[in-house]
């Protein structure tokens, strides 16, 4: 990260989200959900829909999500109030006063390049520009900008308006001041942001989950246990502490005295396979898309697929609220 090219004028106070206009380019599923998150945070949102189909479908999708937020008691005002602070357009000039613009278009470097040029042609020199990519390195995309130091990556978790996860990723040329500003702003979005020092394409937790998949593949293939058992054990064991503690705090809580021995014993026995589990090839062969086409690792009826969508939305609301009750200073002595 270079420390040059600092903004001429100081970046704005992040606590006044009502005075900070933000932009979102790309209104697919993720883009829409992020728009809702930014509206809830109090921003005026300028959305650019480069695809005509998104201009048609996005307004209803966003209204539906706002209605869901209302049902879940996440709003401080009417859905109309929030919706009135959103402009959807195909004209990039709408972004001219935005202090933050997020690109959420498809994973195609050429298209993204055009988008960045369109954004930079209208915004101020110190507007923070970010990408939602999980496929292309930030340092690569950064090359497409005239002012690359204000460019960075932001990973969200779905649904963006009811999850606290947010990952900020700097590229090689990102100036710290912009990441700091976004890190601060993200707290106004009620996120618990993390800040990755190295340019990382994968969401860190995705990577950790693949370490789990690798180990489970070994356990399942040698007949030690089943997919169902692993899901049950993770739900009721890991689930009973992970939202409160993460894994390192958990280790402190369980006591550290035997950990050295346990690491020494278990590490050499963990799976190192590069072989993809057979079941994944099978899923591709049958064109399984999980709950989305009622064909997956588990069996689904169409009715059950719909129920899983609802269950996830509800669970997200519940765990989002539950997490809010557990900063340590809220626990009474």
The interface with a second copy within residues 222-281 (CB under 8 A) comprises 222-225, 227, 229-249, 251-257, 259-260, 262-264, 266-268, 270-277, 280-281
Angle between the 52-71 and 29-40 helix axes, to the nearest 10 degrees?
50
Task: Report whether 100 contacts 127 (CB < 8 A).
Answer: yes
In terms of phi and psi (left: phi > 0; alpha: psi -120 to 50; beta: otherwise), the region of 294 is left
Torsion sign (Cα): 58, 64, 69, 70: positive
Residue 49 CA to residue 319 CA, distance in Å, equals 32
Residue number, 52 or 327, with CB nearest to a second copy: 327
Q: Which residues pair with 24 in a beta bridge?
A: 47, 102
Per CB under 8 A, 314 contacts a second copy: yes
DSSP 13: P
- In the set 77, 125, 207, 302, which binds a second copy (CB under 8 A)? 207
Would you give the distance in Å from CA 228 to the centre of its chain?
27
Binding of a second copy by 328 (CB under 8 A): yes
Only segment of 33-41, 108-116, 141-149, 209-217 that touches a second copy (CB under 8 A) = 209-217
CA distance 260 to 249: 16
Applying the rule CB under 8 A, the residues between 177 and 196 that interact with a second copy are: 191-196
Q: What is the C-alpha radius of gyration for the chain, rounded to an integer number of angstroms?
A: 22
Query: Between residue 35 and residue 74, which ones bind a second copy under the rule CB under 8 A?
Result: none
Q: For residues 183 and 195, is the Cβ–Cβ distance under 8 A?
A: yes
Applying CB under 8 A, which of residues 3, 52, 73, 331 lies at the interface with a second copy? 331
CB 5 → a second copy: shortest distance, Å? 24
In the complex, least distance from residue 92 CB atom to a second copy, rounded to whole angstroms: 30
CB atoms within 10 A of CB 56: 11
Closest to a second copy by CB, 77 vs 322, is 322
Q: Which is nearer to a second copy, 139 or 216 (CB)?
A: 216
Residues 139-168 that bind a second copy (CB under 8 A): 157, 163-165, 167
In this complex, which beta carbon is closest to a second copy, that of residue 56 or of residue 278? Answer: 278
Among 197, 221, 302, 324, binds a second copy (CB under 8 A): 197
* Residues numbered 17-36 forming contacts with a second copy, rule: CB under 8 A: none
Under the criterion CB under 8 A, does residue 301 sit at the interface with a second copy? no
CA 281 to chain centre: 27
């Amino acid at each position: 990260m270079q420390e040059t090219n600092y903004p001429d004028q100081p970046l704005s106070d992040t606590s006044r989200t009502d005075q900070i206009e933000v932009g979102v380019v790309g209104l697919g599923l993720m883009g829409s959900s992020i728009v809702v998150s930014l509206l809830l945070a109090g921003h005026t949102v300028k959305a650019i829909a480069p695809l005509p189909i998104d201009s048609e479908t996005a307004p209803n999708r966003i209204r539906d999500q706002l209605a869901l937020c209302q049902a879940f008691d996440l709003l401080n005002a009417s859905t109309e109030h929030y919706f009135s602070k959103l402009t959807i357009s195909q004209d990039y000039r709408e972004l001219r006063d935005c202090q933050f613009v997020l690109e959420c278009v498809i994973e195609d470097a050429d298209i993204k390049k055009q988008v960045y040029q369109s954004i930079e042609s209208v915004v101020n020199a110190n507007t923070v520009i970010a990408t939602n990519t999980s496929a292309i390195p930030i340092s690569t995309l950064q090359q497409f900008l005239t002012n690359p130091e204000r460019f960075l990556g932001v990973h969200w978790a779905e649904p963006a308006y009811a999850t606290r996860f947010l990952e900020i990723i700097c590229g090689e040329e990102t100036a710290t001041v912009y990441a700091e500003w976004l890190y601060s702003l993200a707290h106004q979005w009620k996120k618990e942001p993390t800040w990755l020092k190295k340019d990382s394409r994968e969401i860190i937790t995705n990577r950790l989950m693949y370490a789990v998949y690798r180990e489970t593949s070994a356990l399942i293939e040698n007949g030690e246990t089943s997919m169902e058992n692993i899901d049950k054990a993770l739900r009721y064991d890991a689930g009973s502490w992970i939202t409160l503690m993460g894994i390192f705090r958990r280790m402190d809580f369980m006591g550290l005295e035997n950990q050295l021995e346990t690491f020494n014993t278990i590490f050499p026995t963990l799976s190192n396979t590069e072989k993809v589990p057979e079941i994944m090839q099978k899923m591709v062969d049958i064109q399984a898309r999980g709950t989305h086409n009622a064909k997956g690792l588990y069996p689904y009826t169409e009715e059950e697929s719909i129920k899983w969508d609802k269950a996830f939305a509800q669970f997200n609301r519940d765990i989002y609220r539950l997490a809010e009750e557990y900063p340590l200073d809220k626990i009474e002595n």
